[in-house]
Homo-oligomer: A and B are copies of this chain.
Amino acid sequence: MTIQPILINGKWCQADVCGQFQADNPKTKQPLEHLFPVSSWSDCELALNAATAAVAKLRDIPSSQIADFLRQYADGIEARADELVEAAHAETALPASPRLADGELPRTTGQLRQAADAASVGTWAMSTIDTAQGIRSVLAPIGPVCVFGPNNFPFAFGSISGGDFAAAIAAGNPVIAKANSSHPRTTQIFAEIAQDAAQQCGLPDGTVQLLYRLNHEDGERLVADPRVGATGYTGSRQAGLALKRAADAAGKPIYLELSSINPIVILAEALAERGDDLATEFTQSCLMGTGQFCTNPGLVVLPSGEMTEKFVDNIVAAFGQAAAGTLLSASVERSLNAAVTSLVDAGAELLVGGQVGAGEGYSFANSLLRVSGDAFLADAEALQQEAFGNVSLLVVASDLDQMTSIVGGLEGNLTGCIYSATENGDEASYRKVAAALRPRVGRLLNDKMPTGVAVSPAMNHGGPYPATGHPGFTAVGIPGSLRRFATLACFDNVRNSRLPLSLQDVNQLGGWRLVDGDWTVADIEQ
């Protein structure tokens, strides 16, 4: 069987192979047809050199041309949508429709088009001009960006199609994509479309490159390489932290999205007002996509009492009745089983589920665990570990003070939600819990489950460590996500004609600029 080629410097070519792998079909547990290479370091060398050459050329390319590429790429994705959906469905078992075809694919092309708009107008780069002192600065491309994509969003977070890719390219950088090993064929199709679009739009060879897999040492060497500008990573905490160590030691920015249990706090007044509705809402959110979302609600904090018992009965019944979905891979199944076992070992009671193989292919029964607030606080470290999948832990606290202590002691999370009464009857309780929860999470929701992550300029898909590596940046949302892949470039006493377009007196790109303290789109008058 032929080993699939990698994409280096604008060409599909044979890898310097040091291993090979196939993806499984998670429903059948059988290997899929294509054979993919594990690359040796020499492939990274080629990619790094090509990316470095591309950096110099991209500097002279107008941002409108980069925008054209992103739009043409989005069009190309739509043209091959059926093929992408089929490949991703085979590799991930995610439903072809609506999930892949009607949810994730439009999200992906939408992101690329938003990134195109951002690239061409340039507001994201925060051009800042001090006319009196003759100093001007702007966020500029940081250099080649390595993107490691996760297993759970083969399109929208894919290494050569997703948010990190769109952000890095829109900010003017070449991307070296490392495919997720669970969906290499999907990634390959994206790379084909991207490379065609890059070529048609006249982007330099080496602007988009793809490797399928590296051994861990080479991955760490890659993110620390002097030629690299920065890295975007979404995936497991353990692998991410190994990359972080390597990048940190080399002084290379790395943006990580690692893990999160996304605490949900339901105040007594909300339970009283609409407990049954909340049970339905929670069940849908937690089981959607077989729970395989970064923002899946993995921890629910409830006040003890009858209403909580009714809520728990409701969701236990619902979890028992709902079919267990197929998980993304053998490793997700294995990790989920290990996490549930470890929660039970730490004192959580299994209310429903707990069995491996309860559905088609790789699967795990929809599971709920329960622990008292006292028990949680006694071993919070063990009881707040992520169980990635269709599982959640219910913590029944003695009172509001204990609910506050529980959320106040959590480590960093992407999201946290508080459900309260519609009519503001519990404002004091809300404020108490919110004050404890707010600093622990990137996004604080009210009366809404966290599993939807809108691609909005105001979104924060980020949060305090160890949910991510830096609490000041978001992985989703434009223009914010672009700013991760940029360096602050200041020009002092530099003649107008020598400035980048976005800093010249005439506002040629038309984006917003901070001129002498005020944001404006106007030209600067001489």
Binding site for B on A (CB under 8 A): 55-56, 59, 123, 128-130, 133, 135-137, 139-140, 142-143, 244-245, 248-253, 412, 415, 424, 430-431, 434-435, 438-439, 442-448, 450, 454, 456-460, 462, 464-466, 469-474, 480, 483-484, 486-495, 498, 512, 514, 517-520
Contact = CB atoms under 8 A, between A and B. Distances in A.
B439 A472 contact: no
Contacts of A517: 123, 457
Given A252-B465, A438-B489, A129 B458 contact: yes
A25 B182 CA distance: 66
B442 A490 contact: yes
Given A444-B494, A448-B493, A128 B472 contact: no
B458 A490 contact: yes
Given A137-B474, A446-B493, 19 more contacts: A128-B457, A128-B480, A130-B456, A130-B458, A133-B454, A143-B439, A251-B464, A251-B465, A443-B491, A445-B492, A446-B491, A457-B514, A457-B517, A460-B489, A464-B487, A472-B487, A472-B488, A512-B518, A519-B520
B456 A135 contact: yes
A79 B135 CA distance: 32
Q: Which 3 A-B pairs have the closest CB atoms?
A: A251-B465, A460-B490, A519-B519
A190 to B, nearest CB: 27
A69 to B, nearest CB: 22
A457 to B, nearest CB: 5
8 contacts: A251-B466, A251-B469, A439-B487, A446-B491, A446-B492, A460-B490, A471-B488, A472-B484
A491 B458 CA distance: 9
Nearest to A258: B251
Contacts of A135: 454, 456, 458-459
Given A492-B446, A493-B445, A56 B248 contact: no
A151 to B, nearest CB: 23
A47 to B, nearest CB: 19
Nearest to A430: B498
A435 B438 CA distance: 44
Contacts of A492: 415, 443-446, 448, 450
Contact of A458 (B137, B142, B431, B480): B137
A133 to B, nearest CB: 5
Nearest to A251: B465
A39 to B, nearest CB: 26
B471 A487 contact: yes
A248 B487 CA distance: 20
A368 B430 CA distance: 66
A498 B456 CA distance: 21
Nearest to A461: B490
A450 B492 CA distance: 9
B488 A445 contact: no
A444 B251 contact: no
Contacts of A466: 251
A424 B494 CA distance: 12
**Residue among A123, A458, A460, A474 facing the most chain B CB atoms (10 A cut-off):** A458
Contacts of A473: 488
Nearest to A415: B492
A446 B490 CA distance: 11
A471 B253 contact: yes
Given A445-B493, A488-B471, A137 B460 contact: yes
A442 B472 contact: no
B498 A458 contact: no
Nearest to A142: B471
A497 to B, nearest CB: 8
Nearest to A488: B460
**Residue among A251, A454, A518 facing the most chain B CB atoms (10 A cut-off):** A251
A258 to B, nearest CB: 10
A187 to B, nearest CB: 28
A459 B249 contact: no
A341 to B, nearest CB: 27
Given A444-B490, A446-B492, A59 B435 contact: yes
